[in-house]
Structure 1
Amino acid sequence: MTTKSSLPDILPLAVTPGEPAGTGAEITLKAWSSARNLLSPFFLLDDPERLERLARLIGADVPVRAIDKPEDAAGVFERALPVLPIAFSTPPVPGKLDPANGGAVIAGIERAVQLTSEGRSAGVVTNPIQKSVLYEAGFKYPGHTEFLAALAGPDITPVMMLAAPAVRVVPVTIHIPLKQVPETLTTEMIVTKSRITAEALKRDFGCRSPRLAIAGLNPHAGEDGTIGTEDRDIVAPAVEALKAEGIAAFGPLSADTMFHAEARESYDAAICMYHDQALIPIKTLDFWGGVNVTLGLPFIRTSPDHGTALQLAGTGRAHADSMIAALAMAGDMARAREMYND
Structure 2
Amino acid sequence: MGVYLLWQTAAWIREGEAWNVDLEGYPKFMRQVCNHPSIVMWEASNHPNRFKLHDISDSHDFVTRVYRTLSAVDTSRLISPTSFWQHMHYGNYDGSLDKEGNPIVPNPVLMEKLMTRGSQDAYTGYGAKWTALRKAPNKWAASCLAANDKAYFNFEHEESAAQPNWTLAEKEPWFKIQSYEWEYEKGSIGRLLDASEWRISQAFQAFAAWESMKKQILIGYDGFSWCSLESGSNMFTYQKPLIDPFGIPKLAYYANQSVFQPIWAGSSNVDVVYGPADHISPVLFNLGQPKTVDLTIELKNDKGKRIDWKIFKNIQVAGGRTVVNLDGFRFKTVPDGYYFLVYTVKEQNPPYRHKE
Query: TM-score scaled by structure 1?
Result: 0.29
- Larger RCO, structures 1/2 (Cα 8 Å, 6+ apart): 1
Structure having the larger proportion of residues in helix: 1
Rg: which structure is higher?
2
